[in-house]
A = this chain, B = another copy of it.
Amino acid sequence: MTGDGATTTRRTRETAQSLAAKQREISISEFFTKNRHLLGFDNPQKALLTTVKEAVDNALDACEEAGILPELRISIQEITEERFRVRVEDNGPGIVRPQIPKIFGQLLYGSKFHTLKSQRGQQGLGISAAGMYGQLTTGKPVSIISKTGKRSPAHAFEIRIDTRKNAPEPVSDRIVEWDAEHGTIVEIELEGSYKKGRRSVDDYVEQTALANPHAEITYRSPKGEEIRFERVTNELPKEALEIKPHPYGVELGSLMKMLKDTKARNLRSFLQQDFSRVSAKVADEICSRAAVPAGRNPHQISPAEAERLHKTIPHVKIMAPPTNCLSPIGEALIFKGLAARVKADFVTSATRPPAVYRGMPFQVEVGLAYGGDLPAEELVEVYRFANRVPLQYQQSACAITKSAVTTDWRNYGLSQSKGAPPAGPMVLFVHVNSVWVPFTSESKEAIAHYPEIVKELRLALQECGRRLGNFLSRRRRVADEMKKRSYIEKYIPLIGEALQDILSLTDRQRDQTISNLKDVLEKSRRM
């Protein structure tokens, strides 16, 4: 018993036994209620944005997974200055009735966490956290209507979250009339604050339209303005396929867990089936180099053997992971989108070939619009996107910002101060697409500085920068030429008239001389 040792114990307050009585499980909902800033609910303005964002992410993901061209209606109703009702309607596949409560009323529940492919959602946290925040600040449940097909009924739920259990508590569950064929409507009432301008919901919706040229979005702001973003293409994005982990990315503990969980009957087929890019030959090479027989039962591999396998893998040459798990927007559509939404003199876009960090495929795309209506005197705006989702906060912590700032734009004819983005009438659109975007926090606001990602970002930015440089120097040349040409056009006739006087030319001879002179000068100027 504690308290026996008089020398060390001065006051006995708690004992091992009394402390044990206090220990208990903390539900993830309780955890994120107390730490809600981690999920992007630190202040009312951000809470409003995050709520819209989570609902829109889910809607777009659902449509794409089902191969449906998305049609979204986003509306924000201002109830008081501090209270809003967010409503997002989609034409997605809908959600089957038994899943509705869990998806909206349980944190860490979802289909995407264990899937290695490019998607907006990753964690199964967002929409239920938004609902929980609404409930916390207004006491109102989340309401959902969902319909899975023409002949299916539309189910309407109102759901609370029991934060102690992290479990949904349906308040009501009815069948309602809804004339849509299929889709989902989510409504969340929350304490928030609406401001126009940078980082506003308006901005977010506009950038979402830009990164999702296949989506049609109608947006009704709290002030009642309605904006419609027409789709720029009728093509759905290329379907992203799920992949298996690549051996180069695996950690010892994960390898041991995979060995334990596998259904494969020997080590060779385990390596082939549970990883991507491992052929029978590669599997055999790993086994023989690690001195573990390829025919061994994976469940009977000892920790020491697993460690030998793990140490061997980096020394065996294995093909880079497949990249059909990615879903880039594509150069053509980035170009088209920018051209449609920004009035600019010059637009370009570049999609890099896929690359890999920590065994995870990723791909970088950059769009650039210059001139036109863009403000000439300000620092360039950088629109950041991760898996087509606009990122609006923590820009200084983000690898995208870092890459844009450390690119030397003076090489391409722009002015730039050290440590700042360039200045000029320009917008940058930067998209990182990956099966697992390494965000710096759960609120998914900034991308971590993996050197491989920063490198690809810089290459893509430089590519667009070079093209802009060419455009700008061509434009300068043309402007010079126009100036010279205007001199010729202005002075040659005067010279012609002077020559006519001096040499007593006829009008025809004078015109002929003028024309000859023009030709000669034009030719010499071209050389």
Using a CB–CB cutoff of 8 Å, the interface residues on chain A facing chain B are 1-5, 8-17, 19-20, 22-28, 30-31, 34-35, 37-38, 42, 62, 65-69, 71, 91, 93-96, 98-99, 102-103, 106, 108-111, 113-115, 123-124, 135-140, 148-152, 163, 181-182, 234, 236, 239, 251-254, 256-257, 303, 306-307, 436, 438, 440-442, 448
Let me know if B16 and A110 touch, CB within 8 A.
Answer: no
**Contact call A71/B110, Cβ cutoff below 8 A:** no
22 pairs, CB–CB < 8 Å, chain A vs chain B = A1-B151, A2-B68, A4-B181, A5-B181, A5-B182, A8-B68, A8-B71, A8-B91, A16-B94, A19-B111, A20-B96, A23-B111, A24-B109, A25-B108, A25-B109, A26-B113, A30-B113, A35-B123, A42-B448, A136-B254, A137-B251, A163-B257
Q: How far is the CB of A58 from chain B (nearest CB, A)?
A: 11
Among B93, B106, B253, B307, contact of A14 (Cβ-Cβ < 8 Å): B93
Out of B24, B98, B136, B152, name the residue touching A1 (CB < 8 Å). B152
In angstroms, Cα B4 to Cα A181, docked, is 8
The 3 closest A-B pairs by CB, nearest first: A136-B253, A1-B149, A11-B67
Q: Considering the complex, give the chain B residue whose CB is closest to the CB of A152.
A: B1
Contacts of A441 in B (CB 8 A): 38, 441
What is the oligomeric copy number?
2
A26 neighbours in B (Cβ, 8 Å)? 108-110, 113-114, 123-124
Contact B138 A253 (CB under 8 A): yes
- A139, B253: Cβ atoms closer than 8 Å: yes
Among B11, B31, B103, the residue within 8 A (CB) of A239 is: B11
Determine if B13 and A239 form an interchain contact, defined as CB atoms under 8 angstroms apart.
yes
Known contacts A11-B239, A252-B138, A307-B139; A19/B65 CB under 8 A: yes
**Distance (whole angstroms) from the CB of A133 to the closest CB of chain B:** 9
Alpha-carbon distance between A38 and B307 when the two chains are bound, in angstroms: 26
Q: Quick check: A148 and B23 within 8 Å, CB to CB? A: no
A140 surroundings in chain B (CB, below 8 A): 303
Which residues from chain B contact A34 at a C-beta distance below 8 Å? 113, 436
Indicate which residue in B27, B38, B66 contacts A15 across the interface (CB closer than 8 Å): B66
Q: Is the CB of A93 within 8 A of B139?
A: no
Inter-chain contact B123/A15, CB cutoff 8 Å:
no
A104 to chain B, nearest CB (A): 12
Smallest CB gap from A438: residue in B: B37
Q: Please, which residues of chain B bring their CB within 8 A of the CB of A110?
A: 23-24, 26
Tell me whether A4 and B150 are in contact in the complex, defined as CB-CB below 8 angstroms, given that A30-B113, A123-B31 are known contacts.
Answer: yes
Bound Cα distance from A190 to B12, whole angstroms: 35
A89 smallest CB distance to B (angstroms): 14
A16 touches B96 (CB 8 A): yes
Which residue of B has the minimal Cβ distance to A94? B16
**A96-B20, A102-B23, A253-B138 known; A2 and B148 CB under 8 Å?**
yes
